Structure 1
Amino acid sequence: MKKKWAFIFVSSVLLCNATIVLAQTEPEEIKVDGDKFQDLFYESIFQKSIENYDKSLVALEQCLKLQPNNSTIYFEMGKNYLYSKDYKNAYSAFEHATQIDSNNKWFWVGLYDVCYETKDFNQAINIVNKIIPFDAEYKEDLVSLYMATKQQDKALALINELNEKVGKTERREMYKMEILSEGKYENSEADNLKVLIDKNPKEESNYIALIFLYSNNNEEDKAQEVAKKLEKEIPESVWAQVSLFKNYLDKNDGANAVKSMNIVLASTKIDSKIKHRILNEFLLFANASPQFVPDLDKAIDYFKNDPKVNVAKEIGKFYHNKREWEKAIKYYSLSEKNSSEVDLETSLLWLQANTELKQFEPVAKKAMALIDTYPAEPQFYYYAGMANNQLQLYKKAKDILEMGMDYVVENKNLEINFNIQLGEAYSGLGDASKKELYFNKANQLLKEKK
């Protein structure tokens, strides 16, 4: 709703009203009654200003005795009653003012204020419709009142009218989303958008809204038709490419899909969430069509400076989950290349993927380098020890693992793995008793885990 109005009337206007009435009396009476009226009126204004509403009302009652048909006095009484939260008398006073003078906007606003305070929104709608001929901005209030009284059809019609005449607002768009989420109004909204497109074929936002409307209803064919029309009318529109991209993928047209994708990813108009969705869809496509993997790699460059999502890392995890270790390593390496800081998770995933491929020399080398950066991270000691065991560097493995064991805290799986690797190291060193000691510890931990 609009911010409540401060009803300010210029004293000269009020006095002018009083003079009109007094002009019909005898000259000698004008001065006496006029002075008295002025004194009483100013007293009411003063008392209201210091929140003595009862005293203000007493003065106004005296004013009425002098000028019983003065609409302004009823209006002032309405304000005092309203401030006193005496809503019944406030409504009556404002209503009396409108009956005397129906052409004063502020008298109707007073009635609206009472309805608003008492949450009588249905009556408020009737009042606001009286105000709108004086002030069209109150149509904004009418939208909110329609929403409050569940008259979404009227609200939607008025929202569309205002959007076209005075432009969109955040509040109206929020209301519109709420209305359209119910589903039953989507057809009328689609019709409205079609009309707007026909009236102004160069207005991009209407195409976009219609594309999203159809897409949300899984009417992809209709969405594609609108996208093609948008591309024809506004060739430079990047939003047309968002929709066309999906169409190209569905038709297995990789070459055109790449063109649309690159246009979208390069645009500053498109939200990052949409860009990520497009890249994910292309990732699935490229996984089934390996000839497009180089295009996927190029697309990652668009996300280099994205602070929210490390795209190369996420693609690496995609291949990791599919146990395609070489591809996973490739994207983990690209992720690290694009980042100025060491990412703990990416490093551990890289170590695991290389371990799966039995590439122990790079694992040992990288794990030792990471220990220098993260001296309290036990998993790097584990990978360094395990890799050195596999390289038959048992003494080095033992020293690293014993050092790293001190950092293992409340991680039973990792503790088991440390003990197994220490057993392997001592086995390689020919120390059978230590070998049995650590293997037995690992077995005991496994039993406790069960």
Structure 2
Amino acid sequence: MKKLVSLLIMLVLLCNSALSWAQTEPEEIKLEDNKFKDYFFEALKQKGIENYDKAIVALERCLKIEPNNATIHYEIGKNYLALKDYKNAYSSFEKASTLDPTNKWFLIGMYDVDYETKDYIDGVKIINKLILFDPKFKEDLVSLYMNTGQFDEALTLINELNENAGKSDRREGYKMQILSQGQYQDAEIANLVNQINKYPKEESNYISLIYYYSKKDNLEKVLEIAHQLEKQIPSSEWAQVSLFKSYLVNNESEKAINAMNIVLASAKVDSKIKHRIFNEFLIYVNTNPQLTPVLDKAIGYFDNDTNVNVAKEIGKYYHNKKQFDKAVKYYQLSFKKNNLDEVETNLLLLDIYIQQSEFEKTVKTATDMVASYPVQPQFYYYAGLAHNQLKQFKKAKEMLEMGMDYVVEDIPLEINYNIQLGEAYNGLGDANKKELYFSKANELLKKQKQDE
């Protein structure tokens, strides 16, 4: 390909030479023409075998015959560039461009030098000239603006290209980099407002604008744009994301439920946003318990969520509020949805049974879990504690002594084990063992306080 280009260049040169020699004697023309061709082909040969110095010598001989031949200056520049002699390369390309300002390749040569030397400021100047030949060079100009820190110009150009040529991953990456700096967000807000006015059915512009208004905590504008989006695109799930909160604040239950159901069923909305909306509705239901059936139904949207057991998390919410009946209901429901969290959920249930003094339930649940998870010391502990409360001291002692073997580097649990073993031996009438385990518990308590 390079040889073909070089031959084409040679033909152009020869045509130029014929014109310049129009007033010369025929014999002189032939002599000069032969020399020029010989030097030029010699340059091509030397360049082909990467003897760039010798190629330059041959081309300089061409220049003695035609000192203002732009193409020869360009060829010299290419050889200097191959030698990484950037100063002479740039000078040669610049000379070629001065002689023939209509040839974009001469400017491209200058830009190649700028790129190699990271002279982005001069690169901006050259690319702006190249854009007059081909608007596609605007893509390069965006990168140059990023390298020179001209973010205002970069953002303006990115928005122009996005509108006229469509978005690209690289430009969107640059845009995110610029907009991470707060001072440029007002310009982007103005751009998005303009885009919405031009293209009212383009959902992504509304979503981006809602995002930036949210970052500024401008709730009034968030709701305004969300309502605008809902009006233009009634089916938009994203409109409901923003409207949901306002419905809750205004106590518009039916609208809030409808918005939540649309969002939870959406394949477009991120799962984190879905969880946030669900949690807000959970808090709302706590003061509006008549909506509990709606909450229970909404859990079904998370059946395939392998990251979060939603029913269990609701149980923990009510657990922390000491609303134990509700907590137990959702813990039980979580077993139907996902058995992967069985150990933690049962421990939470056992904690509630103990706080409610339901020791028979505690014994049954803890004993069943010991059979399923024989190396989990917490289940032995709960079983032993409940047996003590039921005055079944021998069973308590046996369960606790078995479980103690599995307690590893858990001082709080070890303290509780010793206390319960002391209680068991006290119930069995063994005062010495009782004092032994109570004494161990006290020593561990002292150690724990020292470590804190």
Normalising by structure 2, report the TM-score. Answer: 0.90
Deviations 1:200-256 (CA, angstroms, capped at 9, x unpaired): 221111222222222221111122122112111111111111111111112121221
Matching residue within 30, 39, 45 for 2:41? 39
* One-letter amino acid matched to 1:10: V
In the TM superposition, residue 8 of structure 1 has moved relative to its aligned partner by 9.1
- RMSD value over aligned CA atoms? 2.5
Q: Does the C-alpha gap of structure 1 residues 28 and 63 become closer, same or farther in structure 2, counting only changes over 3 Å? A: closer
Q: Name whichever of 428-437 and 63-72 sits farther off.
A: 63-72
In the TM superposition, residue 35 of structure 1 has moved relative to its aligned partner by 4.3
Find the aligned partners of 1:126 and 1:91 in 2 and give their Cα distance. Answer: 14
Q: Does the C-alpha gap of structure 1 residues 215 and 319 become closer, same or farther in structure 2, counting only changes over 3 Å? A: same
* One-letter amino acid matched to 1:292: L
* One-letter amino acid matched to 2:8: V
* One-letter amino acid matched to 2:350: L
Find the aligned partners of 1:157 and 1:277 in 2 and give their Cα distance. Answer: 35
Q: Does the C-alpha gap of structure 1 residues 32 and 298 become closer, same or farther in structure 2, counting only changes over 3 Å? A: same
Q: Does residue 17 in structure 1 map to residue 16 in structure 2? A: no
SS at match of 1:407: coil
Find the aligned partners of 1:31 and 1:71 in 2 and give their Cα distance. Answer: 17
8 Å contact 1:43–1:59 — kept in the other structure?
no
- Partner in structure 2 of residue 91 of structure 1: 90
Deviations 1:115-153 (CA, angstroms, capped at 9, x unpaired): 223222222111111111223222122122222223222
Find the aligned partners of 2:291 and 2:100 in 1 and give their Cα distance. Answer: 76
SS at match of 1:73: helix
8 Å contact 2:39–2:59 — kept in the other structure?
no
Find the aligned partners of 2:319 and 2:4 in 1 and give their Cα distance. Answer: 74
SS at match of 1:262: helix
Deviations 1:5-57 (CA, angstroms, capped at 9, x unpaired): x9997233222222213434546337633541343132233133xxx443443
SS at match of 1:23: helix
Q: Does the C-alpha gap of structure 1 residues 202 and 392 become closer, same or farther in structure 2, counting only changes over 3 Å? A: same
SS at match of 2:374: coil
SS at match of 1:423: helix
- Partner in structure 2 of residue 127 of structure 1: 126
Instruction: Provide structure 2 residue ranges, at least 5 long, that are not aligned to the other structure.
Output: none
- Partner in structure 2 of residue 352 of structure 1: 351
Query: What is the aligned residue count?
Result: 442
Instruction: Provide structure 1 residue ranges, at least 5 long, that are not aligned to the other structure.
Output: 1-5
8 Å contact 2:44–2:55 — kept in the other structure?
no
Deviations 1:170-210 (CA, angstroms, capped at 9, x unpaired): 23223323333433333333332222222222111122222
* One-letter amino acid matched to 1:413: P
SS at match of 1:295: helix
Normalising by structure 1, report the TM-score. Answer: 0.90
- Partner in structure 2 of residue 116 of structure 1: 115
- Partner in structure 2 of residue 336 of structure 1: 335
Q: Name whichever of 87-96 and 179-188 sits farther off.
A: 179-188
> What does 1:210-249 align with in structure 2 at a 5 Å threshold?
210-249=209-248
- Partner in structure 1 of residue 422 of structure 2: 423
Q: Does the C-alpha gap of structure 1 residues 35 and 404 become closer, same or farther in structure 2, counting only changes over 3 Å? A: same
Find the aligned partners of 1:100 and 1:381 in 2 and give their Cα distance. Answer: 93
Superposition misfits of 4+ residues, deviation over 6 angstroms: 6-9
SS at match of 1:242: helix
- Partner in structure 1 of residue 208 of structure 2: 209
In the TM superposition, residue 160 of structure 1 has moved relative to its aligned partner by 1.3
